Amino acid sequence: MKATKDILQIWRKFNDFPMETITKAWYSQISLDNKQRTVELMKLHREKYGTSGNCFDLAIWLIDEFRKNDLNCYAIFTPHSHVAVVVANEEGSTYLCDLGDQWIEPILIDRQHEEYTEEFLEGFFPGSKIRMNVQSNHLVVTYRRPNGKDSKQRFDLTPISDDELLAAGEKTQRKLITPLVEKRLFLVDQVAHWEFDNYKSFTSYKTGREKEIELGSMEEWANRISRKSGINEEIVLKALKVYSK
């Protein structure tokens, strides 16, 4: 179920990228026109401020990298405005690539492939086992947490055009609800998952979730988020102030 080398060498360029809604709040105060950034602008912001972006930013950027390496790919949506990428390797086998949910690595979604299985698997998603169920026009992913609790996510496998993707990205970038940051932590024995969600933070390990001490000020939160994510602390603080309004 693991992706082939041609896909992994592109995917791993994003290993240190968090998924975050910090950037869109900060950028909303800068751009009066388009809110969905170009790949060139995303690269500039990452170099200067350590930002990355939300699931739309990451999907658009990943698609650009795949296409530069002559790999066919396209975006797919869930019913709840989440976006991921489907890419085909040189042999034509297809894989799900979901940077927005901070998967550890891509996973096979080709039912005809001899390696395809619908058993629960480890090593693809931080702190959870996952099971794939691919149908003709949709994909259901089941996540099993260490406490045995299951949750599901459904993707429509209909390819999304570039124009549709950019339009949906623009719409999403204009919605400022709550600040969210997720970051994979590549440890010696596992890949854990750190998350900040509306002034609570925790890390998910193979053994379960560990909550962090809640902080008392926006400045303290900005410092913690910056240390965990690599995003410039001043940018984080500006974004938190936007959300607070």
Q: What is the pLDDT of residues 10-46, one digit of tens each?
A: 999 999 999 999 999 999 999 888 999 999 999 999 9
Give the model's pLDDT for residue 136: 86
For the CA atoms of 204, 206, 208, 209, the dihedral, rounded to the nearest 10 degrees, stands at -10
Of the CA atoms within 13 Å of residue 109, those in its CB half-sphere come to 29
pLDDT higher than 90, residue 103? yes
Please, are residues 152 and 143 in contact by the beta-carbon 8 Å criterion? Answer: yes
User: DSSP letter at 38?
Assistant: P
Residue appearing with tokens 């979901």? 98
End-to-end CA distance of the chain: 45
Q: Say what the pTM is.
A: 0.95
- The per-residue pLDDT for range 188-224, each reduced to its tens digit, is 999 999 999 989 999 999 999 999 999 999 999 999 9
Give the model's pLDDT for residue 32: 81
- The per-residue pLDDT for range 115-140, each reduced to its tens digit, is 999 999 999 999 999 999 999 899 99
- The per-residue pLDDT for range 38-83, each reduced to its tens digit, is 999 999 999 999 999 999 999 999 999 999 999 999 999 999 889 9
Q: Where are the alpha helices (DSSP H) in 50-98?
A: 55-68
The residue ranges of every structural domain in the chain are 5-244
Decide which of 237 and 148 is more confident.
237
Q: Give the pair of three-digit tokens for residue 77.
A: 């949506």
Which fold does the domain 5-244 belong to in CATH? Arylamine N-acetyltransferase fold (3.30.2140)
Give the model's pLDDT for residue 153: 96
Q: Which residues pair with 133 in a beta bridge?
A: 140
- The per-residue pLDDT for range 219-231, each reduced to its tens digit, is 999 999 999 999 9
Instruction: Provide CB contacts within 8 A for 155, sequence distance 6+.
Output: 76, 77, 78, 84, 96, 138, 139, 140, 141
Please, are residues 20 and 181 in contact by the beta-carbon 8 Å criterion? Answer: yes
For the CA atoms of 145, 150, 105, 16, the dihedral, rounded to the nearest 10 degrees, stands at -60
The three-point CA angle 197-59-154 to 5° equals 70
Burial 46-70 (b: 16+ CB within 10 A, else e): beebbbbbbbbbbbbbbbebbeeee
What percent of the chain lies above the pLDDT cut of 90? 94
Give the model's pLDDT for residue 166: 97
Give the model's pLDDT for residue 61: 98
